[in-house]
Structures are given as structure tokens and as C-alpha cells.
Copies of this chain bind each other. A is one copy, B any other.
Amino acid sequence: MTDDFDVIVIGAGPTGENVADYATKGGLNVAIVESELVGGECSYWACMPSKALLRPPAALEGAASVDGAEQAVTGGLDVDRVLARRDSFASDWNDQGQVDWLKGAGIELVRGDARLSGERHVTVTSGSGERTLTAQQAVVVATGSVPVVPPIDGLAGVSPWTSREATAAKRAPARLAVVGGGVVGCEMAAAWAALGSRVTLLAKDPLLLPRMEPFAGEAVREGLVAAGVTVRSDVAVTSAKRDDFGVTLLTDHGPSVTADEVLVATGRRPNTSGIGLDTVGLEPGQALNTDETGRVTGVAGDWLYAAGDVTGRAPLTHMGKYAARACGRAIAARAVGRTPDSAPWGAEATTAERSAITQVVFTRPEVASVGLTEREARQLPQPTRTVEYEIGSIAGAALFADGYSGRAKLVIDSGRKVVLGAAFTGAEVGELLHAATIAVVGEVPLDRLWHAVPAYPTISEIWLRLLEALLADGAF
């Protein structure tokens, strides 16, 4: 067993796997080090199990919102089956499938805790001892992120759920308190409410999903309330205590909340503590700054890379995989003496991490967004404008569900006449997003988008209405 590789990737989540895969495809000899399950948070404690929990209620609501079909829906969710299906999508927390994939891809898996031990060196500690690997070309940090439990009096002592317990729980708690109004908080409040928990969500900000367009948070709040969730925003939890009656949270105003479990979903931080960053002159615990190709700045010798949540730029599975593809290709290019194309939208650049981050929130309604919000666009030097339209007034939406409620918004660069950002709320809008993403990334001018004819009667006809409104307003 050799300890010499071209590339060593620390962390076998989706980001690490993709760096390894693309570097391997580029002809390099790659090891990947993982201390937990190969496949990472996404496969076992995030995207997959959370969406597996959220899809059955969404599918049932889809049928129940169409007259003629709703009469066939006479029961409720089979919670045991939903949880069993979730278990299956989480591969029963067994990573053999992913291990097999690594093997098939020609990537060497090293099990254990990895830490940097100086330039190009990674020391791995496992039950079988310590082993130091050497990378000829690059070491890539893809250790992801970890949840932050805020310093609230007593909170750590009540064994709160993080996203791991919230996605992997074997039964619905009778009462669930959710602290945090971001994506994880809203999705898990929706999921467990649908599965039978009495849910109270406590959010610090006045709006849910505070980084997105305000109408998104408002729509999700309405959806959660309609699903029976008690939503309290603009409220701070001041202390937590567990006794025989459950966990009681005190807040800075309003009543206390008592629940059987508390999910803390107040954010994540880059997972860069305890991985030896100090041995290469970097500060542990901080996000790793990189250039466009994933090369960590401030480290001599051009050998240290990072991708995914550890960079703090776009902490989403698909964006991490995107950065990973660029990073893996860049390492392979440099290995053969080729300078990567790191110009905007170049083959080895992660341009979309700056200007075209995509996100879908699988609440009811769904929320989908790409690129800039109106608030972000207003920080730009150039003039921008927006247009909004009710999706419910589109024939395709009315046909899709009785009383369809949703909204679409585009953020436009007024001078260049291109789309800088888009946001959608409504049932199944997650699949509407990619059209906007291609418009943003492709920098397709409005007068060309005009010729992209949505099929009638689909919900995508929202594009026609948005463009007609812009045209009527002289925007192009």
C-alpha cells in the first residue's frame, strides 16, 4: 500500500468525491480520506433524507389540491412507510454503495481522521494506527461544515437535535421546537408537522429565509401556519432546560415553549478545526479563501486546494460539486503543465459561486432562487430593476392545482438587459428554476428570451408574463 498519491482529498462528501473523480479522470492517482460515512452529510443527514421526508406530503397535497382527484385521498400519510422510504434514500446509513462507486472510479479510500501535517502531507489516524500520506500535486480540503449551536444558556445541555437528528429521527416527536428560520429550520418544521409533530418554530429574524426575497419567507410562513406550525419570528431564545415534561425554551418576549425535542438550526460553520491548518500557516476554524480554481490563498507552493462548504461561499451540495469539478479539472491541468482557464465562466473557474448560486427550498410552497436578490442587486454600481408576477394567474398553474398560489420575480440589469437573479414560490417551482439559471449564466438578453416560447398550458408561461410586463414597461 503506497502512501504517495498525486492528489489527496480530505473528506468524502459529494464535494470531495467530485474533486477526486475529476482529478482521476484527468489522469491522476487520487486518495480520499474519510472518518465517517462515505457520501457525507448530503447522502445521510441532509439533502436525501430531508427530501425523502418532504416529498410524500407534497405528493399527497398535489392530489388533494385538484378537484376530482382529492376525493380519492381519504387517508393520511403512512408515517411508518414515509420513514422507511427515508431510510432507504439514506441507504440505511450504510456507505457500501458509495465505497463501491469510489472503487469503480479508481479512487483509493483511506478511512480515518485526516489532518494536514505540513506541505503536501496528510496524517491519517484510525484504529489501525497513524499513517502519513504525501501528495505530489495537491491536497484538497473538502471537510464541509458543521452546525453551530449558539451560546444560549442551557441549550447544549438539553441534547438538541441538529440537522442530523432531524433528518434521521426514527419517529415523530409529539412536540418539536425548531430554533432557526433558515432553510433547515423551515424544511424540518414542514416535514415533522406533516408527519404528526406539533411544531413551534422560533426565528431570530423578522422574516423566515432572511437571505432570500422577502416574499419567499412570507409565503413559507403562510404555508407553515396552514400546516399547523406555530411560527414566531423576531424572537430570541434566552435559555433552555430539560425536565420530566420535556425541554422548555424561554424567549425574550412572549410565552415559553415546551417540546419533546429541540432542533437547533441556526447556521453552520466551515469544518476547519482540528485538521492541521496551523501546520501550513492558516488559522483553524476559519473559512478557506481560494482563487477561482479552488487554490487556497496565502499558502505557498500552490498545492493546497479547498472546495465546498469549507470555503464559506455557497454552502450547498450542488454548488460544492460544481466547485469540485472546477477544482479537480484545475489540478489535473496544472499536473500536465497547462494553465487552467480561470477567466469568468472558464472551464476551471467557479464563476457561478459568485453570480449564479442556485437553491431550492422544499417547503410548501417550494422556494427556488438563483443569482442576486433585489437587495443584493441594489449594491451594484449599475442600474437594476425588477419585475414580479403572480404565478396563480397563469393557466398552467390554475390547471395544476386549484387555488395555486405563487410568485415569480426577476432581477434585471437595466443597461445590459440581462437577468441577474430570479426567485419563485409555489408548488413544484423547483423545476422552474433551471430555466432562470440558464438565462442568468448564459447572459441571454431579454429580447432573445422573448423568443423562448413556453408551451401552453405549462406553469413556465410565467416567463411570457414577466417578459410582457418588462416589454410594456420599456425595459427592452
Q: How far is the CA of A450 from the CA of B79 in the complex (A)?
A: 39
Question: Are A72 and B60 in touch, CB under 8 angstroms?
Answer: yes
User: Looking at the complex, which one of B63, B316, B433, B458 makes contact with A360 (CB distance below 8 Å)?
Assistant: B458
Question: Are B444 and A460 in touch, CB under 8 angstroms?
Answer: no
Residue of B nearest to A462 (CB): B434
Q: How far is the CA of A435 from the CA of B444 in the complex (A)?
A: 12
A453-B318, A460-B433 given; A72·B69 CB < 8 A = no
* A415 in the interface (beta carbon within 8 A): no
Question: Are B437 and A439 in touch, CB under 8 angstroms?
Answer: no
Q: How far is the CA of A321 from the CA of B289 in the complex (A)?
A: 50
A42-B456, A63-B60, A78-B72 given; A442·B449 CB < 8 A = yes
Contacts of A146 in B (CB 8 A): none
* A452 in the interface (beta carbon within 8 A): yes
Contacts of A396 in B (CB 8 A): 51
Question: Are A63 and B59 in touch, CB under 8 angstroms?
Answer: yes
Question: Are A431 and B459 in touch, CB under 8 angstroms?
Answer: yes
Residue of B nearest to A432 (CB): B431
Question: Are B432 and A452 in touch, CB under 8 angstroms?
Answer: no
Question: Are A319 and B453 in touch, CB under 8 angstroms?
Answer: yes
* A280 in the interface (beta carbon within 8 A): no
User: Looking at the complex, which one of B62, B402, B460 makes contact with A434 (CB distance below 8 Å)?
Assistant: B460
Contacts of A441 in B (CB 8 A): 444, 448-449, 451-452
Residue of B nearest to A319 (CB): B453
Chain copies in the assembly? Answer: 2
> How far does the Cβ of A395 sit from chain B's closest Cβ, in whole Å?
7
Contacts of A400 in B (CB 8 A): 55
> Beta-carbon contacts of A383-403 to B below 8 Å, as 1s and 0s?
000000000000110111110
A47-74 interface with B by 8 A CB criterion: 47-48, 51-52, 55-57, 59-60, 62-69, 71-74
Question: Are B69 and A452 in touch, CB under 8 angstroms?
Answer: no
Question: Are B69 and A456 in touch, CB under 8 angstroms?
Answer: no
Contacts of A352 in B (CB 8 A): 451-453
Question: Are B430 and A458 in touch, CB under 8 angstroms?
Answer: yes
A62-B63, A432-B431 given; A318·B69 CB < 8 A = no
* A25 in the interface (beta carbon within 8 A): yes
> How far does the Cβ of A437 sit from chain B's closest Cβ, in whole Å?
5
* Segment at the interface with B among A28-36, A82-90, A100-108, A266-274: A82-90
> How far does the Cβ of A446 sit from chain B's closest Cβ, in whole Å?
11
> How far does the Cβ of A386 sit from chain B's closest Cβ, in whole Å?
19
* A322 in the interface (beta carbon within 8 A): yes
Question: Are A51 and B457 in touch, CB under 8 angstroms?
Answer: yes
Among A52, A59, A461: residue with most chain B CB under 10 A: A59
* A474 in the interface (beta carbon within 8 A): no
The 3 A-B residue pairs with the shortest CB-CB distance in the complex, in nearest-first order: A68-B82, A442-B444, A63-B63
* A137 in the interface (beta carbon within 8 A): no
A107-133 interface with B by 8 A CB criterion: none
Q: How far is the CA of A47 from the CA of B63 in the complex (A)?
A: 21
* A317 in the interface (beta carbon within 8 A): yes
Question: Are B452 and A442 in touch, CB under 8 angstroms?
Answer: yes
Question: Are A75 and B74 in touch, CB under 8 angstroms?
Answer: yes
24 A-B residue pairings within 8 Å (CB atoms): A48-B399, A48-B457, A59-B63, A60-B66, A63-B69, A67-B84, A68-B78, A71-B75, A89-B399, A345-B448, A352-B451, A352-B452, A352-B453, A430-B458, A430-B460, A431-B458, A433-B458, A435-B438, A437-B454, A440-B452, A441-B452, A442-B442, A442-B444, A442-B449
